[in-house]
Structure 1
């Protein structure tokens, strides 16, 4: 799995904006907060947790990476941000009315154990998302044009992996013991700033960042040249419109 150590600032300046694209759909699925409390697991830079708080929820953010927590506490001091990682969260059973995990179960070593842990600490509902079409397609094209070997991170075993479709995500969650699971597909266009995209690479964010970090100087120059060519070909009005798609699951207690 990808190592996220030290990438808090670079993530916040780039992919945090992309990942927030699921908020409107999750928000509609849960309805009015009605004084309920909510735990955001794998909260990253706290952007989504702050959005939940602004919508009226009583929010706590849980994030295992120190650099992410530092950004969250500085930029969103109104959110209580604590350390904690799946599949063993530092909370009692049913501690929160609602638990959300935005693009988290696709990054953990044991998705089913982690999903079961989300259910354990929730009373009413779990909302989780996973990529169906992630930014990896964009970086795969650049990697191919640059003529460098693609990033080969650690993969889930066949027993742990799940199909990255709405049905596959729902099936995995049910296997983890979650009930009353519904999954919807959500698509959106991220109008990415080219400078932010490149900052994510230099900052070591996600697979593209891990790949770039391991390249020698010549390969880095080829990678940058390929990036610039793709940006020039695809940019519209100074931004790069990138299509993404996610599966958004809601599991309720009954």
Structure 2
């Protein structure tokens, strides 16, 4: 199964709200909209793209996963969404006056080529903004897997010549290699106050690495996984919510 395949509805019900947490930082980085053309790459179910639209940007979304596009078109019908994925996008050079890629460059097969593609489709001097996770709730899911006695694969890594350090410094260096001008990176931390049912929707729906792992389990292991999930949620819940701290690296640069 391809990563993120078929997870549009589950993502919309879970991680979409978390990933939209960079919205203020991205809007601030882009400057005054003035009806300028903005491309949101990896627009998912459309939450950020619609926020940009409401801030008076002329927004186009770009998303490879059909179920994500379907949710976006239903929930945010005023956003035009085009099928496409980095590192090759279906747009002419200098087609946009701003480009965003929120939690996208940590998933692509060639980050530097993808960074160059982002710069290619932007007019000279246009703001480019992107984010990656430097701290995600992976510890939460790893604890669940360990308690359930499940052996999880370490996951696929990019070849050494394609990968980059998933730190603010590593992110900035990769973007500079990809042709971003004056790229600066700042870390943004916040707490996701997640309802346990929302977290479970992400796992059951196959979202991210934990969801893909759960989808591949047999009946008995799924029951063990669910039991461990309930235990960990109970231990970390405050007034019925699971408090998960996150840190994103938010990068801002310019097209040449």
| CA distance in structure 2 between the partners assigned to 1:102 and 1:150 by the alignment | 27
| CA distance in structure 2 between the partners assigned to 1:137 and 1:26 by the alignment | 26
Where 2:181 maps in the other structure, the secondary structure is: coil
Range with bigger deviation, 48-57 or 134-143: 134-143
Given that 2:181 and 2:255 are in contact with CA atoms closer than 8 Å, whether structure 1 keeps it comes out as yes
CA displacement 1:153-210 (0-9 Å, x = unmatched): 3211111111111110000001111111111000011111110110111111110011
Question: Of 130, 155, 163, which aligns to 1:161?
Answer: 163
Q: 1:2 to 1:172 in 2, by over 3 A?
A: farther
Shift of 1:63: 0.2
Shift of 1:151: 3.8
Please report the RMSD computed on the Cα atoms of aligned residues, expressed in angstroms. 1.2
Given that 1:151 and 1:210 are in contact with CA atoms closer than 8 Å, whether structure 2 keeps it comes out as no
- Which residue of structure 2 aligns with residue 172 of structure 1? 174
CA displacement 1:81-112 (0-9 Å, x = unmatched): 11111111000101000010000000011111
- Which residue of structure 2 aligns with residue 88 of structure 1? 88
Please say if 1:149 is aligned against 2:151. Answer: yes
Given that 2:29 and 2:127 are in contact with CA atoms closer than 8 Å, whether structure 1 keeps it comes out as no
- Which residue of structure 1 aligns with residue 75 of structure 2? 75
Shift of 1:253: 3.6
Given that 1:2 and 1:207 are in contact with CA atoms closer than 8 Å, whether structure 2 keeps it comes out as no
| CA distance in structure 2 between the partners assigned to 1:130 and 1:187 by the alignment | 12
- Which residue of structure 2 aligns with residue 25 of structure 1? 25
After TM superposition, what 4+ stretches of structure 1 lie above 4 angstroms from structure 2?
Answer: none
Given that 2:120 and 2:255 are in contact with CA atoms closer than 8 Å, whether structure 1 keeps it comes out as no
TM-score with structure 2 setting the length: 0.96
| CA distance in structure 1 between the partners assigned to 2:75 and 2:35 by the alignment | 24
- Which residue of structure 2 aligns with residue 219 of structure 1? 221
- Which residue of structure 2 aligns with residue 45 of structure 1? 45
Given that 1:103 and 1:130 are in contact with CA atoms closer than 8 Å, whether structure 2 keeps it comes out as yes
| CA distance in structure 2 between the partners assigned to 1:126 and 1:31 by the alignment | 11
- Which residue of structure 1 aligns with residue 184 of structure 2? 182
TM-score with structure 1 setting the length: 0.97
Runs of 5+ in structure 1 lacking a partner? Answer: none
Given that 1:180 and 1:253 are in contact with CA atoms closer than 8 Å, whether structure 2 keeps it comes out as no
Where 1:250 maps in the other structure, the secondary structure is: strand
Q: How many residues align?
A: 254
Shift of 1:150: 1.8
Shift of 1:2: 5.9
